[in-house]
């Protein structure tokens, strides 16, 4: 059985982007609209070992699980269902990665997720995420040469 790594955090902090990055492919939908991920999304990823450990241990495979954003507010009243799925994922985890938005810093909802993590009693780590482009800035279009 592979180790399970569950990615949690509030809506739109980069959980799905992190899963896609670690998986090396697009598995989870990434969208600026909060609440796109509602169910757990599972994939597998190979974690390369450092060269000096290759003779002792080959690359490791892990099961990566993306979760919906904790505390989503939606018009379909799915908040309780999403949070239940998050808690199920956390209860099955060998490691929980708690993702926060490094640009906005900690907000009260992050603190609520942190309290939930402490109650789980599972190993966890925190990852800060940030977008490549500052919010509000548009990508410049290249001008065609004349």
d(CA 14, CA 134): 14
Per-residue model confidence as pLDDT tens for the chain (146 residues): 889 999 999 888 888 888 888 888 887 777 666 656 667 788 898 887 676 666 666 678 889 999 988 887 766 677 788 888 888 988 899 989 999 888 888 899 999 988 888 887 777 767 776 654 444 444 444 455 55
| The pLDDT value given to residue 54 | 61
Q: In terms of residues, how long is the chain?
A: 146
Q: Which of 87, 96, 85, 71 is nearest to 11 (CA)?
A: 71
- What residue segments make up the domains of the chain, in order of their start? 4-129
Which CATH fold topology does 4-129 show? Rossmann fold (3.40.50)
Per the structure block, which two tokens stand in for 38? 């509602």
Using alpha carbons only, give the angle 130, 131, 132 rounded to the nearest 5 degrees.
Answer: 120
d(CA 82, CA 74): 11
Question: In which residue are the tokens 């609440």 written?
Answer: 35
d(CA 43, CA 122): 20
Strand 95-101 vs strand 4-8: parallel, antiparallel, or unpaired? parallel
| The pLDDT value given to residue 84 | 86
d(CA 143, CA 64): 41
| The pLDDT value given to residue 130 | 64
| The pLDDT value given to residue 51 | 67
Q: Which of 22, 2, 6, 1 is nearest to 95 (CA)?
A: 6
| The pLDDT value given to residue 15 | 87
User: Which H, E and C letters describe 66-111, residue by residue?
Assistant: ECCCCCCCCCCCCHHHHHHHHHHHHHCCCEEEEEEECCCCCCHHHH
């Amino acid at each position: 059985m592979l180790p399970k790594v569950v990615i949690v955090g509030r809506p739109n902090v980069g959980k799905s982007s992190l899963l896609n990055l670690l998986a090396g492919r697009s598995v989870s939908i990434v969208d600026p609209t909060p609440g796109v991920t509602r169910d757990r999304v599972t994939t597998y990823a190979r974690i390369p070992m450092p060269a000096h450990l290759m003779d002792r241990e080959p690359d490791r495979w892990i099961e990566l699980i993306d979760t919906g954003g904790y505390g989503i507010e939606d018009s379909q009243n799915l908040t309780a269902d999403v949070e239940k799925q998050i808690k199920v994922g956390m209860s099955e985890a060998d490691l929980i990665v708690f993702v926060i938005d490094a640009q906005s810093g900690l907000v009260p909802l992050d603190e609520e997720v942190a309290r939930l993590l402490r109650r789980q009693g599972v190993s966890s780590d925190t990852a800060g995420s940030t977008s490549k482009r500052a919010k509000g800035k548009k990508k410049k279009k290249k001008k065609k040469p004349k």
